[in-house]
Every structure is written in structure tokens, then in C-alpha cells.
Structure 1
Amino acid sequence: MPVLRRPAPPTRRRTAATVVTAALVGGAFVGLLSVTGTPRTPSAHAAEGTGSPAKAPATHVPAKALPAEAHGKPGKDTRAPVSVVQIVAHPDDDLFFMNPDVSQSLRSRSPLTAVYLTAGESDGVNARPHDAAAAAPDKAGYAEARQNGIRAAYAEMATGSRTSPWDREAIPTAGGGWAELDTLRARPQIKLVWLQIREAGATNGDRPHSLNGLWNGRITALESQRSAGTPVAADFTYTKEQVVATVTGLLERFRPTFVRMQDPSPGTYPESGKFRDHQDHLFGARFAQAALARYAELPGHPHVGVQNYLGYPTSVLPHTLDAATADAKLKTLKTYAWLDGVQDCGTGAGCGDLKVAARPAGRGWTQTVRYARGTSTSWVQRGPDGGLHAFTVLDGHLAAWRKPADAVAWRGPELLPGGGLDSGVTSVTLPDGRIAVFGTRTTLGGDAAAYRREVVTTVQSAPGGAFGPWLPLGTPERNDADGTSDISAPAVTVAADGRATVVLRDSRHRLTAREQRTDGTWGPWRSLGGTDVYGDPVAATDADGRGYVFASTPDTVLAWAEQEPGGPLTGPAPTGLPPTTLALSAGAAPDGDGVRLWFRKPASGDLRSADFSGTGPVSPVTELSGTGVVGFGPVSGGDGLLAVRSRTGFLATAPHGRAGARPVWTLEKFLFSGAPDAGTDGVAAIGLDGRLHWTPAGP
């Protein structure tokens, strides 16, 4: 039975969380993967290499600017600590939309804190739909039951026992209220924080007393909804500023290196104007964005990476998870839903969420997980001199690493001026050798009407030189209200004369483009057409200099191509491809004719590739089924190396090239974010520790 601690007298003193580090552990790949290397002892110093005897050691670069090179030492790994914070609107949002990433973090034994913004009290009826009419509403009781379900689910994922006990206590927040903090006694680095703010109670309904109403200024303060068993002793209210301060204070307390959160711009249905996702998900994510922006300006904390997760819109898309992973995710939801009805939580409110018990898989949610942006494999650039440059977003800033051609290790990251960047950037090398980076930036503004996402770019002043100021390229969206600023991450093609074309998906699920003129200025946004496009588009250029752009729909892949090098993109053209799991990657085809697409087969994780020349349907799909690596997300298939996310969440790499050859996979034992990048020289990935992890290729 949980131990309840009554609140101590209020204090403004902040207590830092203890950072716990432990060796990363692998998943069940016995007999499936050829795994070399062993887990090594982490420490708080610069991380060095994981590798196999056939490879040079991987070098993991520290997440702060280095005055000199950090050289990897064979046989030793000194990874930096990882600390993950998840911020969601309701109990179960993490289980439906962030798993299996959650369970992978728990298995890694790194600190993980889940923050629940609202109490999730709904109508107060904890019953299956056919029993709801006879049940009396009890919002405090239902909130407690959902907490019990979450505690059981996390305990089971972490320890194997859903009844593993928790210690519950009340803590003061930086916003002047109180929150409940639960700590798993067997694994004290696992914590749950319940802010217990009132929820909207409807996906799209007009509910001013909600995070939506508070964000948009329809109310000046939002009430709490305490659960029946909470140690928080008194009700409270929060203003908009106090919610932001509260979440910022939690970031200060738990000092994450990685934050998982929901999608702050999921779009609307054009016909009705209704949100595609729950309003609490959307506006809860915007409060998290505001807190992260404030936290980024505070000194002394680890650099933070962020990943956004798609919510309700995943229902209409092909499933991403293989059967075993989907079954494990469903098992966790069944535990949360109290499906067996066993009264083992020690409270009378109920041991789980019976509303979910009627449909524990949701609307196909346990069979899938999707990132909202951040799947580009084009974040590493290779210079003509053999030097390397890599880019990601940390603390809302562009983080840049470089590896000179004659260097053993990477240098960086250097955080460039100009904050507010969203996760997921893409980079291109211009014909004169300069590198340009493109991404999207969120402007929060002083009021809700100022919220805006737009495309931005920065370019080196000279090859290898400093990057210039960010240039805003605007957005095809008329305003935030119409489509919640729902634009994808950009894809970019570059002509031989250096002119760039930026392509993205808009809130109406079409592709739009903005093209650079010969004098360097930019033309207006124009529609490229297409319907029902989801995810991020990808771009590639063939050996003849023709640009291509590809985008997924729920049923196939559409293509746009230049009819001659440097000409306008035309399309969409049907590719004849079957459904994919949306995350595409593309590059020049090895034989020089057109481009090669990499993607995954739905509901399996199997890898596929196909070539496209722009003159007709793609070549027959090449199946890499039965290869022993399953997972989800982008496939990086560059120049003889494959790099993917495995079922464990760890990076899996393999050489490829010989037709029909079965890849021999190496599992690199660290969790990473976004997409890996594979090239002839090695594989790069950004770890959840905010560091660049590099596995050189070759003996």
C-alpha cells in the first residue's frame, strides 16, 4: 500500500533531483541479432566508444563546446547520465502515444519522471460504457483510480510487479500551488508528478475552464481537481503564468537531458475547424513549450533535446509496431485499465481506468507510435575535404558539431544564437561548399494570438565558416487559429546554381513550396498539390542533379520531380508503392539512375527500399524481411551502411550492398532520438544524453 506523506510547510527552496546512472541493458534479440560489444560502465565524463572488434571504437562527444578533441579509448565507455522527463495532459497519454519509448527508458534504468498536467477526472464515472448509467459521478475518485492504474503500469514495466509500492508525498510548486510526487520504492529514479489541474472534459467542446481557456485568456485562473487519495491537502488555482512557472520549476528540479511531450500543433479538420487531437493535448503541449523556452534561458543545466508525439491522428495511419511490441504495449494498457478487476491497490476508488477497459487498444494506438516531426536523416553533411558536420536542436538552439578530416573525434556542440527552434532540422551542402540548415521555429509571443510556427534557415558565410543569422521564410498558414500552425519539418532540394527549394506539408495535408530566385530572394509559397499527406516530406537529388521530393499518404507514397536539373518540382506522380509507416528517407541511387527510397513495412518493422527515376512507377520493392531487426522509424541507408532503431530502441547498424545478402547487425547499446545518419565513414546518432554518438566504419 502506498505510503502517504502529508505536506510539509510551504518553502521556496528547490531541491535538486538525484541523478542515477546505470548500465544500459538490451532487449530480447537472442538468435536474431549478431551483437558485438558489451555494456560498459557509465560515468558523468565525456562518453567514448561502443563498438565491435571489427570496428574502431565509437566516440561519444560531450554536450558542451570542447576546447580540443576528445579521443576515444578502445575498450572503455564513459557515457553521460541520461534523465528523461515526460509531460502529458492526462493519465494514459504516455502509455497510448509514447510507448514503447517509455518502457525502453525504464529498462535502461536511467532516471525518468512523468508529469501529468491535469487530473484526468473527465465526468467522474469510472465504469465501462454499459455500466456508466448506473454509476455515480465521483471526480476525485476517478482521478485516484487513474493514478492507481498509472502506478500499476509503471511498476509492472519497471519491476515486473504491478503492486510494487510507491511513496506518495506533497511538494510545493514554483507556481505557488502543490503537486503530488510519487516515487517507486524499488526503483527510486522513477517518479510520477501529478499537478492535478482541472481538465477540459471534452475533445473539442467549448470548455473555458480548461488549459485551452487559460492559454487563450478566456479565464484568468484554472482550478485544481485533487484525487481522493492525494497527500495534497488543499485546493489551489493557477494563472497562465503560474502553470508555466510550475512546469519550469519541475524541469529545474529533475534536470532532464531529454523531454517527451505531445504535439502543440496537431492541426484542425478543414471542414469543421475542430481539432484533430484533444484540446488538452494541444494546449498542454503549448504550456510545456513555454516552460522549456524559459528553462532554456536558465544557466547551469544539461542541454535538453525534445521529441513531440502524434496523438489521435495516428488512428488513420498504418501501424508502425511489430506484433510482439504491440502486444507488450497492449499488456501495459490492460494493466492500467484494471482489466482483471483484482482489488490490489489498497484504495476504494478503483485500481485502474475502467473507461479504457472497454477498449484498451484505443483506436489502434497500441499498435503504433509516431513522432510529430524530427525524422530527417539529412542532419549530417560531409565536406569535400572529408570533414563532417552534424546538427540537432538542444535548448531550442541549433547545436552544431564538426569533425575535421584529420581528426579522430568530433568537436562540439556549439549552440548558435537564436532560440525557439523545433525539433528536427535538415541540412544541405551548397555547390560552393557552404552548408545551409533549415528548420521550423515557434514564436510564443506575449498572448495566445501571437503563437506562430515558421520556416527558418541559416547559411555558412564561407565553406567551413561561421553560420549567419537566421532568415525567416514564413509559413503557408494564414494564422494559428485555422490549422494550429500545423506544418511539417522542411525538405530541401538545391539546384546546381545554388538555388534552394523548401517543401513542407501544410495543415490541409498538401505539399507547399517556396523557391529561391537567382538573386537570392525568395518567391511566394505555392501549392504542389497532393491530398492526405502525412509526416515529413523527404528530398533527394540524383546523379544528374535533378531534385525529387516524396511524401506518404495512408495508402501509398507520392512523388514530385524536376523534369530537368534546376527546374520546378512537378507532381504529384503515383509511385505504386504500398502503404508505409510514413517515415521515409531518400538518397541518390547507387547505380546513378534516379533515387533510392528507404522505408518500413507496416505492422512488422521490416525494411524496404525502391528506386525511382521520375519517369514512371518505382522499381520493384526490395524486401529486407527476416533480417532480425525490428523497430520503427526512419531507415538510413547510405553508401554501404544501414542504420535503424531496433525493437529495444538501441541503434542497430549493418553493412549492405550485395543483393540478397542477409545483413549482420551490430547493436549499439544506447537510446537515441530522431533518426540515425549512415555514410561510408560511419553512423551518427543523437543520444538521449544530448550528445553525438559516432560509430566509425571499417576495420
Structure 2
Amino acid sequence: MKSRLPLRSALLSRRGVVAGSALAAALITGGAYAELAMSDTEGSDTPGHSASATPAAAPSGPVRPASGSVMQVIAHPDDDLFFMNPDTGQSLRSGRPMTSVYVTAGEADGVNAPPPKKPGGPKPLVDKAKYSEARQNGIRGAYAQMATGDRASAWTRSAIPTAGGGTAEVDTLNARPDIHLVWVQLNEAGTINGNQPHSLRGLWNGQVTTLASEISSGSPARPFAYTKEQVVKTLAGLMERFRPTHVRTLDPTPGKEGKLHKIVDHQDHIYSARFAQAALQLYAKSVNHPNFSVQTYVGYNTSYLPHTFAKPAADAKADIVKTYAWMNPNDNYCNSVAGCGDRKVSVRPYGNNWAQSVRYSRTNSTSWLQTGTDGSLWAFGVLDQQLAVWHKAPGANGSWSSPTLLPGSGMDSGVSATRLPDGRLAVFGTRTLFGSGLTDYRREVVAAVQTTPGGEFGAWRSLGSPDQSGSDGVFDMSTPTAAVDGSGKLTVFLRGGDRQLHSANLTADGEWTPWANLGGTNLAGDPVAATDGAGRVHVFSSTPKSMLTWAQPASGAAMPARAEDTKLPPNTTGLSARADGDGVRVYFRKVDSGNVQSVLFTGVVPSKVTDLGDTSGYGMVGAAGPLLAGRTASGALATLEPGADDPQWKSNGGILFTGAPAAVQDGSAAAAAAIGLDGELYWTQTDGTDGPAAAWQPAAR
């Protein structure tokens, strides 16, 4: 059964670009947008496509066609627009296939109207089927606008059988038939964190044995009631059908916020992500699936954190939300009696500080690229929920190996690494365990260490987790970070669910100590550790208002059990650090800007903040010597010209990537790497002179 939505030839969306932000230009239609939307390259940092006041440098080297496939598994229509954009729009414009799966119908109370300004008055019309349909129309318009520039571009609606036994609606964008929207249409909870048994949370926790669907008006799908195993099979079946190389979900273990220290994210966000985690385990075991990476996003919690975008970029992100929100209810461009969008959102298209930011959870480490004692390079990531290891032979002509996946499943995205005094490499991460049932859900820190320098890695070893991180079934914790001091002592650091810093040490007999609490208050994001030239370990962590630090008084001494406030202004809560002489240099992004800044610590007092110029973007930066790698405002992988008087991001081909780039000193030279959305490792290096870094290239095929 199929139906078609009408196609308008004229562009109905807003025209023009927002000056001052390449991200804004990439999000909003106009000018060069039509050309950009039809590009077969991976990103938008190419001449003529940037509206930045400081445009990106022209690509050096060939532009690669887009590769890989992206899938987003989310709870409600608009979760992707508020919490995953601009990444969603960048993927749509990149030319690669993309599928967004909406687990619930998003029917809420069935009222498609702004909240009343005053109590009383006429009762609003309640129609859950039509409200769900209106939200679908809004998403179709927003995706069409991002992908083609025309919010009214036509879609074909079809029904497919699900692996769980029901049917789902699949919408295909006619102008881009590799773009799909999949509507599973399960009942939503209807409450942020209230006890609603007939919900994803109730199904997961066994309060109900089945969860019914809420089919939107006009949908070709049919009603069905799913068990929790059937939901998992449905999502895994969709993954096998569309074969993503990169999967996005919301955070399955968001932290507690505010004075009441409670979970503020929507329960549907959390449990749609957990169902997706369970499905990913099945997808990883399926036959002939491509290697895939996973990225999780911060949801409601981002309201409490500093903005990552400048105002023009936030305005451009909200502009897409406005299409979804159907700001003018008299404009029935979608030709639907249900309406063309979600009028509840029309009064707050910026959400609750949501349009101003995008944040990744637990994939912010920039230490996953390391050198071996023989001058070789080692890179670590997570593919197929396993540790992926790439190795480059030493020497200028040494080649990269294809990735080797180590035994051990359930790895969360994001790992860190460090080199031990004897030359062996150690890798740290977290993994999710389901036990015998889906409700036996927990997370723990794990470590893998080479048996000999340059040799094989031993089995994963569990370090457990701080007690506070498992309370109330939250299991919120950061990616661990590790450092070795001048005496050879290895320490692992972790932000726990209590928003404090915890540490564990490797003893002389090879055992790990219990987790110790090092204090701190209201920590945000992932901490970062580095060792200075005197062998002292420094640890840094952001808070919503500043940056905290722990500085080892001397090599071999115990880490202080309390944090020092650096008095620095707030940053976008992402940090990276590298040794710099007798100190440690810390890099971060400026709030409401994204510009890269740095400070030097030789103790607990930072130097004056250094701004590296108009290098705005978002996400973490990897730093080694003069080489800096990061994400531009339009999402592309790029480097900064070492020593340039007017630093600008240099990008070739607009490679889109997951997590954060890493960089490492390689003798007199430096190297940087990132994992693309196609599951491939990309890298660049300097030659040890003041010249520019080489063009980004795939490490191995």
C-alpha cells in the first residue's frame, strides 16, 4: 500500500545564508545550497559553500565520494532535530544513504496546538492519530529541506514487515531514494519520568509483557503489540535491511542534574537507546554486515551546559526546527488534513537551550592514537562493539594494517590509550553488559594491555565501576582516561555518576586498586589526563561554570583528594591535553563560539587564555606539537596550519567522522587520525618541519 505526498516545484523554505558561520550556511537553504545538496562529496568545506567570515581553506588532494551509510534510532519525531543536528543535516547532504528510525509514535496527549497561554478556555481537539501524522509531516518537511532545499519535496509511503512480526511505515524521499524514515509507532510514555507501565521503560523492566502500537492517520502500517524481544528483533532487522556503517542514538545512561540530583532526560530517550544497544549486539553478529561505529548524544541534559554554537549557527539549527513546528498553520504545504508539523514546538523552536548545542556522550577521548617504541603508530577505536586496532609499520614508507577486532563484545564507543614504561600499550574503555536478560543491565570499566611491546593484546580485564555510578540503575560514567607518572605508576581516572572524579591504580603485582574518590563537584563530560616533563600527572575536568584540576605534587606521590578551581571561564565542556615542556597544555572550545583556545598549566594555576583565531567548530580537538585536528563548523575533518599567522581549518573533501580526532608526536613530526562514518581510519602527518600537514588519506582499505 503506497501513497504520495505532493511535490511543489517552488522552494518554500527560507532563502539566504547566515553570515558569520559555516555551520549556519550548511543548515539553512539559499545561495549555493542547491549545488551543495546535489554534491556527492562527504561534507561542505569546499570553495563556494562556506558562509563563514573566515572561510575554510580549499581542499588539498582529491575529493572522495561519500561512502558508508548512517542510521539514527530515536524515540520521538524531533529528537534528531534538537539533539543530533547539525550532524543529521550534514549526513543528509553528504550523498551517503541515511535512515532514521522513530521507535514511538510520539502521540503525547494528541493535541496539536501550542500550550494555552491562560488556563480555561475551549478544550483543544484530541486526536492522537492525527497528531502523530502531523509530526511525521513535520519531519518529512524538515528532512526534505535539509536534503534538497525544498520542504515540500515528495515522499513515497510504504509498509514493510518487521523482524519482530509487525509492520512499519517506511517513507522514501523521491528526489533522494537512499533517504528513508522508518516509523515503528509504539506507544510513547506520555510523561518525562513518571511511572507509566505501558511504555518502553515498562516493557524493558517487565512491568508489561507487550507494548501496543499507535498508528498515525494515513499510515500504511497496521496495529501490533510487541514483546521486548520483538522490539529488539525489529530494530536489529532494520539494521540488517539498511546496513549502516554508523549508528546514532541518544544517551542510554544520562547523568543526574541539578540540586535534586535526578535524571532529567525523557525516559523514552533512555530506553529507545537501550533497545538499540541490544539490537546492535544482534546486528554485530549478523552475517556479512559492514563494520559499524556508534555515536550517542546528550539529550535534555544539554540544557544545563554552556552553548557550543554561536548565535547564527543556533538560529540556523532552529530554522530547521521551525519547518518541523509548522510555524504558519495556514500554510498547508503538505496537503494533509492532519497538519504539516508539530504546533507544540512552535512556541519554543530553540527548545530548552537545545538548538544552541550538540554534544556527544563518552566518545571525546583524543588519546587513542599512540606511538610504539619502534616508531610505529597504533590507533584504537570501537567497531562492531569490539575494540578495533590499526597498526602502521615504522618508517616513512610504513603502511597501515586493516583493523583487527579483538575478542570481547559490548564495548561502548570511545576508548583512551597510554604507553607503559616498558613500551607496552594499554587501552581503556567501558562496556555494557545485559546478563541473562535485558533488565540485567550494567556498565563497567575495562582494560586491555599488550603482552609485549608491539605484541598481541591480552584479554579484557574488568575494573568494575565506582559504587555511585551504578546507583538507581543509571550507570552513568565517562570514558576513562589514564596517565603514567615519572615513577612508572599507572592511574586510571573516571567521572562517576555522582559527578565526581574517581581513580584506580595498577599495583606492582598487577592488580587494580579499588576506586578512590578524588572529589570535584558537578563534573561534566570526559576528564582528561596528561603527564608533564617532570613526570607529574595532571587531570582536568570541565564543569558548567569553569574547569577543575588535580595536579600531582611530585612524581610517585599520591594524587590530591580534592579538586582545585582554575577560575577559568566556562568552556563547551570538552577538553584535550598534551605535555608542553614542564607543563601541560589544555585545549577547549569557547562558549557561544566554538573557537579553539588553550592554556598552559605548570601547577594548578593556568596561564592566560590563548585564542587560536577564528577557528570555530564544535567537538574535541586532537593536539600534538603544532598539529591540531578537529571538526570545522560544517562538520568536516580538518587540521590547522602549524605556525600560521592567521590560522584556518584546512580540509580536503569534507570527511565526516565520529567521536573526536586524536593526535600524537611521532619523533620530530606529528600525526593525527579520525574514524570516518564509513568505519575507515583517516590520517595525516607533518614532516617535522614548519610545513603544512599532508592531505587526509584513508589509512587502509
TM-score, normalising length from structure 2?
0.88
1:448 to partner: Cα distance: 4.4
In the other structure, the counterpart of 1:454 is 444
In the aligned structure 1, how far is the partner of 2:356 from the partner of 2:620? 17
In the alignment, the residues of structure 1 paired with residue 519 and residue 434 of structure 2 have an alpha-carbon distance, to the nearest angstrom, of 30
Does residue 137 in structure 1 map to residue 126 in structure 2? Answer: yes
Q: 1:210: Cα distance to partner? A: 0.2
Alignment of 1:98-117 (within 5 A): 98-117=84-103
Task: Tell me the CA shift for residue 444 of structure 1.
Answer: 1.3
Among 442, 457, 477, the alignment partner of 1:467 is 457
* Pairing 1:573–2:564 present: yes
- Contact 1:320/1:603 (8 A) holds in 2: yes
Residues 105-254 of structure 1 mapped to structure 2, 5 A cutoff: 105-130=91-116, 134-232=123-221, 234-254=222-242
Counterpart residue type for residue 3 of structure 2: V
- Deviation of 1:625 after TM superposition, in Å, equals 2.9
Q: CA deviation at 1:525?
A: 1.1
In structure 2, C-alpha distance between the alignment counterparts of 1:577 and 1:652, rounded to whole Å: 27
In structure 1, the partner of 2:314 is 326
Code of the residue aligned with 1:29 in structure 2: it is S
Shift of 1:664: 4.3
Matched, 1:674 2:659: yes
Offset from partner CA, 1:117-141 (integer Å, 9 cap, x none) = 0000001111001179631211111
Aligned-partner SS, 1:288: helix
- Note if 1:37 corresponds to 2:60: yes
- The answer to whether the 8 A contact 2:43-2:635 is kept is no
Amino acid at match of 2:337: G
The residue type paired with residue 138 of structure 1 is D
Q: Does 1:258 align with 2:243?
A: no
Rounded Cα–Cα distance in structure 2 between residues aligned with 1:623 and 1:511:
28
Amino acid at match of 2:88: V
Partner of 1:582: 573
* Cα distance in 1 for residues equivalent to 2:408 and 2:663: 29
Return the alpha-carbon distance in structure 1 between the equivalents of residues 314 and 257 of structure 2.
Answer: 28
Partner of 2:501: 511
What are the Cα deviations for residues 135-166 of structure 1, in whole angstroms up to 9, with x where unaligned? 12111111001000000000011111110010
Letter in 1 for 2:659: G
Q: Within 2, Cα distance between the matches of 1:273 and 1:530?
A: 15
Alignment of 1:298-309 (within 5 A): 298-309=286-297
Question: 1:604 is aligned with what amino acid?
Answer: S
- Distance change >3 Å, CA 648–CA 479, structure 1 → 2: closer
Instruction: Give the 5 Å matches for 1:11-22.
Output: 22=40
Q: After superposition, give the CA deviation of every residue in 1:240-292 in whole Å (9 maximum; x if it has no partner).
A: 00000000000000000000101000134597674221000001100000000
Aligned AA for 2:50?
F
Matched, 1:637 2:623: yes
Which residue pairs with 1:8 in the alignment? none
Secondary structure at 1:252's aligned position in 2?
helix
CA–CA distance in structure 2, aligned partners of residues 457 and 506 of structure 1: 17
1:86 aligns with 2:88: no
Q: Secondary structure at 1:303's aligned position in 2? A: coil
Q: Please give the secondary structure, in 1, of the residue aligned with 2:355.
A: helix
Q: Secondary structure at the match of 2:215?
A: coil
Counterparts of 1:187-586 in structure 2, within 5 Å, are 187-232=176-221, 234-268=222-256, 274-341=262-329, 342-406=331-395, 407-477=397-467, 480=470, 482=472, 484-570=474-560, 571-586=562-577
Deviations 1:41-88 (A, max 9, x none): 54xxxxxxxxxxxxxxxxxxxxxxxxxxxxxxxxxxxx7x21000000
Partner of 2:21: none
* Distance change (3 Å), C-alpha of 1:449 and 1:23: closer
C-alpha change, 1:625 and 1:323, in structure 2 (3 Å) is: farther
Which letter maps to 2:77? P
Q: Secondary structure at the match of 2:563?
A: strand
Alignment of 1:575-614 (within 5 A): 575-589=566-580, 592-614=581-603
| Equivalent position amino acid for 2:518 in 1 | L
Cα deviation, residue 479, structure 1: 7.0
C-alpha distance in structure 2 between counterparts of 1:567 and 1:429, whole Å: 20
For the residue of structure 2 that corresponds to 1:282, the secondary structure is helix
Residue 518 of structure 1 deviates from its aligned partner by 2.2
Taking the aligned partners of 2:652 and 2:660, their CA distance within structure 1 comes to 14
Segments of structure 2 that go 5 or more residues without pairing to the other structure are 6-37, 692-701
Give the Å deviation of 1:33: 2.3
Query: How many Å apart are 1:191 and its aligned residue?
Result: 0.5
List gaps (5 residues or longer) in structure 1: 6-19, 43-78
Contact 1:477 1:483 in 2 (8 A): no
Contact 2:39 2:93 in 1 (8 A): no
Deviation at 1:386, TM superposition (A): 1.4
Provide the TM-score with structure 1 as the length reference: 0.89
Q: CA deviation at 1:588?
A: 0.6
SS of alignment partner, residue 334 of structure 1: helix
- SS of equivalent to 1:307: strand
Q: Is the 8 A contact 2:135 2:342 kept in 1?
A: yes
Match in the other structure for 2:647 = 663
Distance 2:596 2:173 in 1: 38
Q: Secondary structure at the match of 1:463?
A: coil
Indicate the SS of the match to 1:366: coil
Q: Percent identity?
A: 52
Tell me the secondary structure at the aligned position of residue 294 of structure 1: helix
**Contact 2:170–2:183 under 8 Å retained in 1:** yes
* Compared CA separation, residues 221 and 133, structure 1 to 2 (3 A): farther
Which of 617, 625, 632 is the matching residue for 2:613? 625
Q: What is the alpha-carbon distance in structure 1 between the residues aligned to residue 261 and residue 626 of structure 2?
A: 47
Aligned length: 639
CA change 1:543–1:86 in 2 (3 A) is same
Q: In terms of mean alpha carbon deviation, does 570-579 or 473-482 score higher? A: 473-482
Code of the aligned partner of 2:422: D
Instruction: Name the residue aligned to 1:26.
Output: 44
Which residue does the alignment assign to 1:10? none
What's the CA shift for 1:513?
Answer: 1.2
Deviation string for 1:10-59 (max 9, x for gaps)?
A: xxxxxxxxxx99333424336622223365354xxxxxxxxxxxxxxxxx
**Contact 2:369 / 2:672 at 8 angstroms: preserved in 1?**
no
Conserved? CA contact 1:588–1:596, under 8 Å: yes
Shift of 1:657: 4.3
User: How far has the Cα of 1:439 moved from its partner?
Assistant: 0.3
Provide closer, same or farther for how the CA distance between residues 136 and 36 of structure 1 changes in structure 2, counting only shifts above 3 A: closer
Q: Which amino acid in the other structure matches residue 512 of structure 1?
A: H
Cα distance change on mapping 1:269 and 1:599 into 2, 3 Å: closer
**C-alpha RMSD of matched pairs (Å):** 1.9
- Offset of residue 646 of structure 1: 0.3
Distance 2:451 2:400 in 1: 21
Q: How far apart, in 2, do the equivalents of 1:449 and 1:181 lie?
A: 30
Decide whether the 8 Å contact of 2:501 with 2:520 is kept in 1.
yes
Q: d(CA) in 2 for partners of 1:222 and 1:36?
A: 51
Q: SS at the partner of 1:539?
A: strand
| Residue number in structure 2 paired with 1:64 | none
Which amino acid counterpart does residue 321 of structure 2 have in structure 1?
L
Q: 1:322 touches 1:631 (CA, 8 Å); kept in 2?
A: no
Letter in 1 for 2:685: P
The SS at the match of 1:95 is: helix
